[in-house]
Amino acid sequence: MADQTPILEKLDAALSELLADWNIYTTVFAGILAAFAIYSVISNKDPDVHPFLLARQSTASPIRQTGESATYRSLETPYGFPLRQGLNVKDPGAPKWTAGRRGDLRDIWKTAVRGALNEDGTTSGKQGKIYTVLGKNAVEHSLAQVTQEINVIGRHLQKAEVKTVAVCLTDSIELLAAIFAGSFYGFKIVLIPHNLPATTLSSHLQNSKADALIAEVGSLDLSLVAKANKQLSVVIWVAKYGNRHMDWHGVPKDVKGTLEVAVWHELAEEVKDLSGFDVPEYDPTTSTPAVHTVWPSASQSGEFIEFKQENLAAAISALGSALPRNQRFNSSDLVLSIDSLSRSYPLCQIFNALFSNASIALNSVAGEDVDFALATKGVSPTVIIASSRTMSEYHDHVMKPHTGLISSLGRWVQAQTLDAGNMPSQNFFSRLAQVGPTAELSLENLRLLCISHRVDAAASVRLTSEQLTDLRIYMGARIVYALTGPGIAGAISQTNVFDYRDLNGPSHFGAPLSSTEITLTGVSENQTSEENPEGQIMVAGPAVVDGKTTLSSRGRIATDNTIGLCA
């Protein structure tokens, strides 16, 4: 006790001496310190998702075949559980606890027309809308109007007894109506990318044995196509608003007897009163014809992929459930696709939007390589679907050069929030960050960017983690980044919408969707178990045509069980 007093006294003296220097600066410092401490505590939020869910994003099977990796699956459908089969459509009147049907495109349109449901399951009557973007203007269409066109075109083609309809259109309401008409009225739809040379188009028609063609007026030389395709019996021209006054019924002489030519808007006008605004009645147990798309391949012709309706249903459902509940498409969303609907990811996401009663916007310039700023003019979407090529070019050619010192400062602050696992809210720093890079955009409502990367696309358009962080900050939107492959409806895998981690190098592609599973084949047996398995990507599941496909690309499973592409 005795020698403790001097220590206390000394301490007291030292403290007094220290405090003795208190002056006006000290008060200012103390104020700043206290303010910062309070701010630090208040601004400290839980991350959007538990970090462990990002640290292991998919489940690995406990068993593997020799020369293969384990099979990786989404956390929703782990090993031993069935993969997601379909949309789980419950018909009204069905017992409450029965499993739903797998569903097909007809159910998607029916759900879209039915409108959003209230909390208690009653219909609210709030339908989504469809917009077509023409330059700076957006034209609004009601779903009833589209239903009518589905009926008109469907009946016309049904009467002509065609089996396979080739659709060669830019993204438009007519394209969408034709796809649904195929499902309701029982003919196969072949989606052919527009702007193809006439000879390629002609060979596509031959390969698909199309007996009907829906195309834009003036986009192709009919006599050349008709000469090479004797099986072709019906052509429906789609005329744009500007040239509807012209007569488009001309038929090349040599096929005059066998080819019947009609114009879409005239058909719609003529039989308007005969065809109702109601969704056609259908028996859900009957099967619906497939939808074919062309997968661009190294050879000029491309590869035909036949998506069965079951493939599409599984993929659409999986894309919907891949987003956490509060991030899913809903009736207040406007989903804009600036990627061509002849590609399966945008197509499935648009169907997903329709199934979720969201409004959609289609743009006729949509494609894999478009000017992001131009394509997003005219509407203010909440969700944009784009390709990795479009985004990477926009990032490299517009955003990056326009990032000045101020933007970089704002970006740095925002990146801190992202690193902590939170999406930065719109505030002073976000405006600071966005001042240069996205000045030309008007995307106030944007909340989600869905980017898809073709597995065989150039490695230079693969987005890096840093680019994704830039896009998140400068556009103020969350991102999902999906990997697509030939023969797989929707996507193979997609990143978690809350995964903001800025890892080095090219970004990974997240975990498999709940309708697919990934196995790497040709894996070296000499690898130690600590190494990341690397091999050719094999995808299986209900979303895959014929159940299983092996891609030509090699992939790697990282420590967090996400898939990435090699080299």
DSSP type of residue 325: G
Q: Does 460 bind other proteins (CB under 8 A)?
A: no
Rounded least distance, CB 470 to other proteins, Å: 18
Question: What does the block give as tokens for 548?
Answer: 């299983």
- Strand (E) or helix (H) holding 9: helix 4-20
Q: Which of 9, 11, 33, 197 binds other proteins (CB under 8 A)?
A: 33
Pick 123 or 527: Cβ nearer other proteins: 527
The DSSP annotation for 471-507 comes to: HHHHHT-EEEEEEE-TTBSS-SEE--TT-----SSB-
Q: Does 37 bind other proteins (CB under 8 A)?
A: yes
- Strand (E) or helix (H) holding 334: strand 334-337
Pick 118 or 532: Cβ nearer other proteins: 532
Rounded least distance, CB 29 to other proteins, Å: 4
Q: Which of 10, 11, 30, 396 binds other proteins (CB under 8 A)?
A: 30
Q: What is the 3-state secondary structure (H, E, C) of 156-177?
A: HHHHCCCCEEEEECCCCHHHHH
Rounded least distance, CB 44 to other proteins, Å: 9
Rounded least distance, CB 420 to other proteins, Å: 6
Is the distance from CB of 319 to CB of 490 less than 8 angstroms? yes
Q: Does 466 bind other proteins (CB under 8 A)?
A: no
Q: Does 396 bind other proteins (CB under 8 A)?
A: no
Q: Does 55 bind other proteins (CB under 8 A)?
A: yes
Q: Does 559 bind other proteins (CB under 8 A)?
A: yes
Q: Are strands 448-454 and 478-484 parallel, antiparallel or unpaired?
A: parallel
Residues 6+ apart with CB under 8 A from 187: 157, 158, 162, 163, 164, 165, 181, 212, 289
Pick 56 or 447: Cβ nearer other proteins: 56
Pick 9 or 29: Cβ nearer other proteins: 29
Which residues are 295's β-sheet partners?
303
Q: Does 49 bind other proteins (CB under 8 A)?
A: no
Q: Which of 243, 332, 416, 427 binds other proteins (CB under 8 A)?
A: 416
Pick 343 or 501: Cβ nearer other proteins: 501
In this structure, how many other beta carbons lie within 10 angstroms of the beta carbon of residue 331?
15
Q: Does 439 bind other proteins (CB under 8 A)?
A: no
Rounded least distance, CB 64 to other proteins, Å: 4
Segment interacting with other proteins, rule: CB under 8 A, options 52-60, 95-103, 435-443, 445-453? 52-60
In this structure, how many other beta carbons lie within 10 angstroms of the beta carbon of residue 51?
9
Pick 44 or 122: Cβ nearer other proteins: 44
Q: Does 435 bind other proteins (CB under 8 A)?
A: no
Rounded least distance, CB 50 to other proteins, Å: 9
* Dihedral (Cα; 330, 419, 465, 59), 10-degree rounding: -70
Name the residue among 77, 44, 76, 49 with its Cα closest to residue 499. 49
Name the residue among 504, 491, 506 with its Cα closest to residue 452. 491
Pick 48 or 216: Cβ nearer other proteins: 48
What is the contact surface with other proteins in residues (CB under 8 A)? 16-27, 29-30, 32-33, 36-37, 40, 51-52, 54-56, 60-66, 69-70, 416, 419-420, 501, 503, 529-530, 559-560
